[in-house]
Chain A
Amino acid sequence: MIVAIVSWTVVAGLLITSAGLLLYRDWRWGLALLVGQYAGVFWLVLQHWPLGMAAAKLVGGWMAAASLGITLLNLPQQADPVEKYWTQGRAFRLFMVGMAALLAAAAAPSIEAMLPGTGIPVAMGGILLTAMGLLQLGMTTQVLRVILGLLTALSGFEILYAAMEGSSLVAGLLVVVNLGLGLVGAYLLIVASAEKTE
């Protein structure tokens, strides 16, 4: 019972973090939300994987966020966005967040039926993050946003895939993929910033 309550709370938290990622423009908020999001992912993955494997996912995600954060901290000041919020289309973004949440709520029982034992909160969390990540990818071409979108979409997939596959090799490779995305994001940010400085 307590596990279920915590899981539903985590899903609500994931809705807040992923919606925040979509709405906030300040990269500091974005990375803080990403760190919180990985904590939620850790809890949902823990429902199917042992603590060690789930913790690897948490640490991998946090390391990806850290690599992005350290890079952004060291970039010249002008690379920082001035506005804290997206100034245009906020209502539209909120509407899309609502649609994604609705989709997750509607599809979760089908996923649970297809994958018995997954648990509705796990299915919902997975679909929600995947949808929000794809939404993010569809709305921007900015490097940081794209990387955050990919990490979010992959997190959603990983929650669902943890219910299907318990291989250590897969867990390890997925951590490397997350970390790799963080490092590629950091590289792209540095390259983009160098161009702006010139």
Chain B
Amino acid sequence: MSAPVIWIFIPIIVGSASLLISRERVAAIVGGGTALILTGAALIVPIDEALGFGSFSLKVASSFQILGRNLTLESSEMPLLAILFGAAAVWFIGAESAGVARRLTPFGLIITGLLVGSIAVQPFLYAALLIELSVLAAVPLLLPSDQIPSRGVIRFLIYQTLGMPFILIAGWLSTGVEASPGDLALTVQSATMLGVGFAFLLAIFPTYSWIPLLMEDSSPYVVGFLLWLLPTATSILGMSFLDRYEWLRTSVQVIAALRVAGLVMVVSGGIWTAFQHHMGRLMAFAAVTETGFILLSLSLDSVTGLPIVFLLLIPRGLALAVWALSLSIIDSKKKSLRFPAVHGMARTYPLAAAGMILSALSMAGFPLLAGFPPRLALWSNLAQQSLSAGFWLLIGFLGLATGAIRMLAVLVTADEKTAWASEESWAQRGMLGIGIIGFLIFGLFPQIANPILDKLPLMFQHLGH
């Protein structure tokens, strides 16, 4: 038995088999259960060490050879797998409340398995191919068979597919730069290829137009799942590049490019968030700023930046999950998520409304909520290096906060005669309640995730050391 078989092939096999499941609840239980078991295994199973059960002993090898290359999952990667599968379990269990479990469980497990494969594959730059396969698996997830292919899906497919060749060529060129560091032309070519590739994969301005389109046309819960998982895997690929190539890590221009791209994402995403009239698009642009925060964190020196990237991981997943679930609940009752259609919904769906507002406020860095500690760390570190960058980050935060306050105003402004009620189901109330408590716990006690987060930088040999 090897680690890649457990955390890559088992989810893909279970996901493929669960395509046969016809009941929402069974699909949610299978998906959530599988992900929870894999989370537990990532936390307790030692890699490359014998695990004794009485007279039996089991050793989980770290590598699995396939077509002459290795898939390797070291023990240093186990905390990340625990976070990925733990969060995936939450998404799969919540999928029943959103009414998409039969779609999300199979394709979600397959996508998660492929993206873990992208973390495991050696050489790491082949990860781009596995990310592309997960993008292909995401198309039927985004587009149920009773819905016309939208511009968003087509654009998502095109942009994500175009990213792959650029990353592969950049990887090849980067090796050349390493061999001859003085070759300026090669360095520029390699950095350009890398920049374009990641611009497509991470949906960096201006290639993020598919995100709001998808949020309008597809299930918000499904899009939220992808907006959480895909940028996470792509960011790890980006960090692997920084870790592997010293010329990238030490290049002033690359760091400056990361900072500019991050600021453009945060400012443009924040400003667009402030002016949206559609709940889904509002979440889409808030998600765009999240990618900006990751890029800004990477632009700090690696010792402070890398822990912030990982600190963003859990609040980001929590905010997207709660927001997406809340939107799905309202989406299932209303024909449109435009502001006029959802006026006063807080009276009839108070928990869903609270979920959306708290998610938006958490993403804006509102104190006492989960998003506050990483944003404060990012803002203070960034401002120490560049006051103007700190100012622009503030503009992004203000945009996000404006969007959240406008949403609050729309949701609570109702006819006085409308009675208060809670029309969410018990399962929905339970999931939203846990999420809302999660915001407060991670906001008030961010250190509770430290036992896992502290180990994440060990995945990289050079970054964070």
Contacts and interface: CB of A to CB of B under 8 A. Distances in A.
B254 interface: no
Interface string A173-191: 1101100110110011011
A37 to B, nearest CB: 17
A172 interface: yes
Interface string B233-262: 000000000000000000000000000000
Contact of A161 (B143, B146, B165): B165
B145 A173 contact: no
A177 B145 contact: no
A154 interface: yes
A169 B148 contact: no
B139 interface: yes
B143 A143 contact: no
B111 to A, nearest CB: 13
Contacts of B69: 167-169
B83 interface: no
Interface in B142-164: 143, 145-149, 151, 153-154, 157-158, 161-162, 164
Given A169-B126, A180-B133, A180-B136, A191 B143 contact: yes
A68 interface: no
Given A184-B136, A191-B143, A191-B145, A170 B126 contact: yes
A186 B308 CA distance: 42
Nearest to A190: B145
Majority SS at the chain B contact face: helix
A41 to B, nearest CB: 14
Given A143-B154, A150-B157, A194 B146 contact: yes
A167 B68 contact: yes
B169 interface: yes
Contacts of A184: 136, 139-140, 157
Contacts of B145: 190-191, 194
Majority SS at the chain A contact face: helix
- Interface-central residue, A141, A150, A161, A188, by most chain B CB under 10 Å: A188
A174 B136 CA distance: 13
A22 interface: no
Contacts of A168: 67-69
A99 to B, nearest CB: 20
A191 B68 CA distance: 39
Contacts of B121: 169
Contacts of A160: 169
Given A169-B126, A180-B133, A181-B136, A143 B67 contact: no
26 contacts: A114-B186, A157-B168, A161-B168, A161-B172, A167-B126, A168-B67, A168-B68, A168-B69, A169-B69, A172-B67, A173-B130, A177-B136, A177-B164, A180-B133, A180-B136, A181-B161, A183-B136, A184-B139, A184-B157, A187-B139, A187-B140, A188-B154, A191-B145, A194-B146, A195-B147, A195-B148
Interface of B: 66-69, 121, 126, 129-130, 132-133, 136-137, 139-140, 143, 145-149, 151, 153-154, 157-158, 161-162, 164-165, 168-169, 172, 186, 189
Given A157-B168, A168-B67, A173-B129, 16 more contacts: A114-B186, A130-B165, A161-B172, A164-B169, A167-B67, A167-B68, A168-B68, A177-B132, A181-B136, A183-B136, A187-B139, A187-B140, A188-B139, A188-B149, A191-B143, A194-B146
